[in-house]
Structure 1
Amino acid sequence: MGHTAFTIKAFGIYVVVTGLGLLLAPNLMLGMLGVPEAREVWIRVLGSLAIVVGYYYIACAAGNAHAFFRATIPGRIAFFALGVGLVLLAGAPWTLILFGLADLAGAAWTWSALRAEAQGPGTVPAS
């Protein structure tokens, strides 16, 4: 598995773990964000969706799907931007940005790995 695929697999595992938390212990996860307890099913639906999306990341990493790797970068940046928008415009708790920062960091890691891969084998990404 190449470095870029590894970044995608690692992010996929993070998404699956987050999804499992939302599915199995949603109020623990919400409490960490400073969000009131949820009694509705929507948060578990979101957790289920995250598990499936995380699986896609892991499967695409195993298949070395470079088109997917590239597509995740603007998607993860958009997730961060949308989270910031929700905090600024919709009164979401600021801690939501922490989840977005994980996406932003993952996007940067994948982008850096793709750049290094394009420059040739054994290349270390520039700082």
Structure 2
Amino acid sequence: MQKPAKTVWLFGIYLLIEGLFLMLAPSSLLSSIGIPDPESVWRIVIGFVVAVLGYYYIRNAKENLVPFFGFTVQVRIIQFVFFIWLYVFERGTLALVVFSFIEFVAGMWTWNSLKRSRA
């Protein structure tokens, strides 16, 4: 597996774990980012969606679908900006911004790996 694929594969594992936590132990994950547990089925649905995204990342990395890698970088940057926007307008917590910063850094790692693999 080439380095760009490896970065996406690892991020897929991260998403899969995050999704499983949201499905199986939502209170622990949500409280760590300052969001109250809504005690509804939607937290499980979102956990499932995140886990599915993780699966997509893993499968695309295994297939070495390079265009997908670039798309993930774009979305991870947009997500970080969106969570900052939520925080600025008092709809999200600073912990949520910090949490999304991890995804932003992972996106920059993928972008850097893509840039180096093209050189």
**Into which bin does the TM-score normalised by the smaller protein fall?**
over 0.9
Residue type of the partner of 1:31?
A: S
Whose helix proportion is higher, 1 or 2? 2
Q: How many residues align?
A: 119
1:93 aligns with 93
Separation (CA, whole Å) in 2 of partners of 1:53 and 1:107: 15
Larger Rg: 1
Q: Output the TM-score relative to the length of structure 2.
A: 0.96
1:26·1:38 contact (CA, 8 Å) conserved in 2? no
Higher relative contact order (CA 8 A, sep 6+): 2
RMSD: 0.9
Unaligned residue ranges in structure 2 (runs of 5+) = none
Q: Percent identity?
A: 34
1:16·1:52 contact (CA, 8 Å) conserved in 2? yes
Q: Output the TM-score relative to the length of structure 1.
A: 0.90
- Runs (4+) of structure 1 exceeding 2 A deviation are none
1:75 aligns with 75
Deviations 1:50-98 (A, max 9, x none): 0000000000000000110011111000011111111111431110012
Separation (CA, whole Å) in 2 of partners of 1:85 and 1:16: 25
